[in-house]
A and B are shown apart, each in its own frame.
Chain A
Amino acid sequence: MTYVVKPKFHHPELPKNKLGYTHRDYEGAVSTLCAGCGHDSITASIIEACFELSIEPHRVAKISGIGCSSKTPTYFLGNSHGFNSVHGRMPSVLTGANLANRDLIYLGVSGDGDSASIGFGQFAHCMRRGVNMVYIVENNGVYGLTKGQFSATADRGSKSKRGVVNSDNAIDMVGIALQIGASFVARSFSGDKKQLTPLIKAAIEHQGAAFIDVISPCVAFNNHAGSTKSFDYVREHNEAVNFLDVITGRAPIHVDYAPGTVEMVEQHDGTILALRKLNAEYDVHDRQAAMSFLHHHAAKGQIVTGLLYVEQDPQDLHQHLNTVEAPLNTLGEKELCPGSAALEKINAALR
């Protein structure tokens, strides 16, 4: 928590994006989280991703639940639409908004408590329906806002700040997302923006249900020895399978990677994901292999990060339901009332 306002001055040489904005223009209010909280780094990554993609802030809807993580939408994109909903209910509010207006970019921000405990069902259904969104879980293994109780993602055997050992099994949200059909699945670490920012960019460009689990240390309650979500632990056990570069359609593609180490994945909208592979065998298009790879490494105590799975031609909820393309608020009487003849026809069909 800070008392002074973050000064408006910025570096005179700051780059500007296509809209003429600097990354400072994508900020929100100054964070009120604890100093050093991993969530603030994720905020910075979201800001950087939106800046680099030259997204117009008013085209973004940021929706969250309850928790320190769910507070963060206040700290980025001050000129976007926002809805800070109830605990665990981000997915349903976001689904509703998305159904009403598919033209916006939907950014769902949640925590491990918000999504793996109280909102577990919401998370699951939203992913299996294929809502076109970016679902970010800022995962610290605790309920930070309520003073550090273990959450459902806390690893069995890990220790609380007071030394209590967690005896429950952990939910791996990446595993669940893969299993229930998310079309873009990734994991990253708040302490590694080089990996995280491109993943957020790719997820935004992805036209389907994109899920990113971001390990985000809680410096107040879960950054001690014995924790498996601390800065030190994550750095020691991070098993990155790849790094991404996102090449949007407009920028020329210049490939200067060593052959064989990079895979170009073209997305539906023309965006190209340049995957720098750290693990040559890892295939981002094989859902089953991804799941067993995860299990295998989890058993060894490793945290697999990177782009874990991506579908090139995802389908989303609107396609499944065959909904009207125009946002509902733009539909007038003409489109909504087809007239009595049409009504007659419908009634006749039901008789």
Chain B
Amino acid sequence: MKPTDISVPDYFHKVVDCQWACPAHTPVPEYIRLIAAGRYSDAYMINWESNVFPGILGRTCDRPCEPACRRGRVEKDPVAICRLKRVAADFKDDIRGRLPKPVKTKNGKRIALVGGGPASLAVARDLAPMGYECVVFDQDPKSGGMMRTQIPKFRLPETVIDEECDYILNLGIEFIGGRRIDSMKALLKENYDAIFVGCGAPRGRDLDIPGREEAKKNIHIGIDWLSSVSFGHIDKIGKRVIVLGGGNTAMDCCRSSRRLGGEDVKVVVRSGFEEMKASPWEKEDALHEDIPIFNFLVPKEFTHENGRLTGVVFEKVKAEYDAKGRRKLVPTGEADEHFPCDDVLVAVGQENAFPWIERDCGIEFDKWDMPKVDPTTMASTHPKVFFGGDAAFGPKNIIWAVAHGRDAAISIDLLCRGEDIGVRPPPQVKVASQKMGIHEWSYDNEIALDKRYRVPHRDKVVALRDIKAEVELGYDVELALKEAERCLNCDVQTVFTGQLCIECDACVDICPMDCITFTQNGDEADLRTRLQAPAKNHTQDLYIGNDLKTGRVMVKDEDVCLHCGLCAERCPTGAWDMQKYLIDMTHAEQACQQRTQSAA
């Protein structure tokens, strides 16, 4: 294998598994260290700079970082990255003074943003401080999009949404609530310099089976019902409720039902429990609230009497796999089952809908009736129109909406400057050795063996009485500190300098994880079998160091390195060093600065 070129920013970025997995590339270990140091405001700002909604995300993020977290490969559970984010938000001081100030002199460019959800707000957060005049339109009276209208308040309190949306709106953004955009053509005529479409995926899928029409009074579309609950239009439901669907919307529906009078609430899903789309922790929370989940049942018919829903008939199925491993649900042949109920919530999927975008306005749509969007620039086929969030590639989540928004902001800025939106500046990397003394590092390299700490919950009886009572109470300072210690500091990288190495094997001998091998070079497949411990995780790189006197190479399997620094402590010559790699993703403002610097 070729020696590893560690100057390529991606190499060490990938080693920071959580940051690499985060769509917004939040520097996770950096903020966790700040929490451990009690510097909550600093930890909050690191988050705010990259993901814009730390308090919201710290409660609701889909947390793609956690399945990626290295700790999960070393022991059972990853670091509670998401809930530590909430800690930063909960314990910070007033940080308003540290936010960008509204600019007095605008740059004369006007940007229209359709929808006031996280995607649009992320765009505005980047462009407003640069002097752009941002106008956000939303059909709802308040900003926040589905964060406000869909996510139940027992998961995300209104105060948190208000606070973090206001941080952005206070940057001098014009928010026009209660105004639905009905025509793209008309909007294009208003001569904005660019338009960002962040209108989400607003339509809940229906279930067209017998009885649907007759019993419609007691059959509700999940996301419509949730927004009515959120707006206070609905405040009760029948005693016996069936929720159809296995995603996160279904989980929010069943848990909300339990708080609005539902006593016997069931979730019924076509697939098996493991394949359900809902996150494991949401299923866990539902089960904890005495909501049973029934699997392998396909709804066949709504039963009704005198225009009133009486229940649902289900066909029993089982999973069968064909030669290609594809799953098919086939009837088991057993008798159908009837579940009596008073209300049904249909949460079987969410769709995009762009009735207000005329198909001849210059924006091309594909065969699924989705706009054609470039995943890097977020540009549509109309030079001035960009998409992001759920509107771009179908329903995802908040953190993706933020990431899209920030990428779109870079494009819009480039566009308004008359530059090529395809030329994207690379991320900024800061490197610093962490060595303070012979065995002293400026980070805590001791590895805590603690298992993941549970976040305390509100007492169930109390929680179920009030739909606005937040269930999770968040870590207290003591728990937060202990959980923070579990982080392995994956951004403090092991950096190898072959010229200094005397091949004494000290690092090989001390490494608790058998990461390091000195051996003859070979191709990757071969090398992976010849290491101290087999390197079977192909998603993790091998770090190849050369310049050794014996002509061998140093091979480090990055997979389960603890970043404990023992290799560097043990190295007599400093051939190993622990260096912090801080990778800052480029956002519109930095991109602009980089350009002015290189031009100068």
Q: Residues of A with Cβ closer than 8 Å to B?
A: 1-14, 24, 30-31, 34-38, 40-41, 43-44, 190-191, 193, 217, 219, 223, 231-232, 235
Bound: A11/B512 CA distance, A: 8
- Whether the pair A223, B562 counts as a contact (CB closer than 8 A) is no
User: Which of B187-195, B463-471, B499-507 lies on the face that meets chain A?
Assistant: B499-507
At the interface, yes or no: B287 with Cβ under 8 Å from chain A?
A: no
> Which 9 A/B pairs are nearest by Cβ-Cβ distance?
A36-B572, A7-B447, A11-B533, A44-B509, A36-B504, A35-B572, A36-B506, A41-B505, A4-B446
Apart from A37-B504, A41-B505, what are 9 other A-B pairs with CB-CB below 8 Å?
A1-B438, A2-B570, A4-B566, A6-B510, A8-B449, A13-B534, A38-B504, A235-B549, A235-B550
Q: How far is the CA of A191 from the CA of B550 in the complex (A)?
A: 11
**Are A44 and B505 touching (Cβ within 8 A)?**
yes
What does the 1/0 interface line of B440-473 toward A look like (CB < 8 Å)? 1000011101000000000000000000000000
Q: Are A232's CB and B572's CB within 8 A?
A: no
B509 in contact with A41 (CB, 8 Å)? yes
Judge whether B439 and A2 touch: CB under 8 Å.
yes
With a cutoff of 8 Å between Cβ atoms, the chain B residues found around residue A38 in the complex are 504
B439 touches which of A3, A12, A14, A223 (Cβ 8 Å): A3
Question: A2's contact among B513, B515, B569, by CB below 8 Å, is which?
Answer: B569
A65 to B514, CA, bound (A): 31
Contact residues in A for B503 (Cβ distance below 8 Å): 191, 231
Q: Please indicate the chain A residues that have their CB under 8 angstroms from the CB of B564 in the complex.
A: 4, 7
Q: How far is the CB of B448 from chain A (nearest CB, A)?
A: 9
Q: Mark B411-446, 1 if CB is under 8 A from A, else 0.
A: 000000000000000000000000000111000011
Taking a contact as CB atoms under 8 Å apart, the answer to whether A9 and B502 are in contact is: no
**Contact indicator B509/A14 (Cβ below 8 Å):** no
Let me know if B560 is at the binding interface, CB within 8 A. yes
Q: How far is the CA of A235 from the CA of B534 in the complex (A)?
A: 28
Contacts of B572 in A (CB 8 A): 34-36, 219
Alpha-carbon distance between A41 and B507 when the two chains are bound, in angstroms = 10
Looking at A1, A12, A190, A231, the one whose CB has the most chain B CB atoms below 10 A away is A12
Residue B75 at the chain A interface, CB threshold 8 Å? yes
Can you name the residue of chain B whose Cβ is closest to the Cβ of A2? B569
Find the B residue at minimum CB distance from A231: B502
Which residues of chain B have C-beta atoms less than 8 A from A36's C-beta?
A: 502, 504, 506, 570-573
Q: Which of A11, A35, A44, A235 is the one whose CB lies under 8 Å from B569?
A: A35
> With A41-B504, A219-B572, A231-B504 in contact, is A13–B509 under 8 Å at CB?
no
Cα separation A34 to B439 with both chains bound (whole Å)? 12
Cβ-based interface call for B508 (8 A): yes
Chain B hits for A7, CB < 8 A: 447, 449, 512, 562, 564
Please state if A24 and B505 are interface contacts (CB–CB under 8 Å).
no
Nearest CB of chain A from residue B532's CB, rounded to whole Å: 8
22 cross-chain CB contacts under 8 A = A2-B510, A3-B440, A4-B439, A4-B564, A4-B566, A5-B446, A7-B449, A7-B562, A9-B447, A11-B514, A30-B510, A34-B572, A35-B571, A36-B504, A36-B506, A37-B506, A41-B505, A44-B505, A190-B505, A219-B504, A231-B503, A235-B549
B578 to chain A, nearest CB (A): 12
A191 in contact with B505 (CB, 8 Å): yes
Interchain CA distance A4-B565 in the complex, whole Å: 10
Contact indicator B533/A13 (Cβ below 8 Å): yes
Interface check B74, CB cutoff 8 A: yes
CB of B504 within 8 A of CB of A9, answer no
Q: How far is the CA of A312 from the CA of B127 in the complex (A)?
A: 83
Q: State how many angstroms separate the Cβ of B70 from the closest Cβ of chain A.
A: 11
Give complex CA distance A12, B560 in Å.
8
Contact B74 A193 (CB under 8 A): no
Q: How far is the CB of B19 from chain A (nearest CB, A)?
A: 21
In the complex, are the beta carbons of B449 and A9 less than 8 A apart? yes
Q: Is B205 an interface residue (CB 8 A)?
A: no
| Shortest Cβ gap from B163 to chain A (Å) | 39
Neighbouring B residues of A4 by C-beta, 8 Å: 439, 445-447, 564-566, 569
Is B504's CB under 8 angstroms from A11's CB? no
Task: Name the residue on A nearest B575 (C-beta).
Answer: A36
A13 to B533, CA, bound (A): 7
B536 at interface, CB cutoff 8 A: yes
B73 touches A (CB below 8 Å):
yes
With a cutoff of 8 Å between Cβ atoms, the chain B residues found around residue A9 in the complex are 74-75, 447, 449, 512-513, 560, 562
Q: A2-B566, A7-B562, A35-B569 are in contact. Are A43 and B509 (CB under 8 A)?
A: yes
Contacts of B536 in A (CB 8 A): 13
What is the distance, in angstroms, from A77's C-beta to the closest C-beta of chain B?
Answer: 15
Report the Cα distance A172→B503, complex, angstroms. 26
Does B566 contact A6, Cβ atoms closer than 8 Å?
yes
Closest to B448 in A: A7
Contacts of A31 in B (CB 8 A): 510
> Measured between alpha carbons, how far is A223 from B446 in the docked complex, in Å?
31
Whether A12 lies near B73 (C-beta < 8 A) is: yes
Give the Cβ gap from A231 to chain B, nearest Cβ, in Å. Answer: 5
A10 and B439: CB pair below 8 A? no
A232 CA to B570 CA, complexed, in Å: 19
Residues of B within 8 A of A223 (CB): 502
* C-alpha spacing A9/B513, complex, angstroms: 7
* Nearest-CB residue, chain A, relative to B505: A41
- CB of B517 to closest CB in A, whole Å: 11
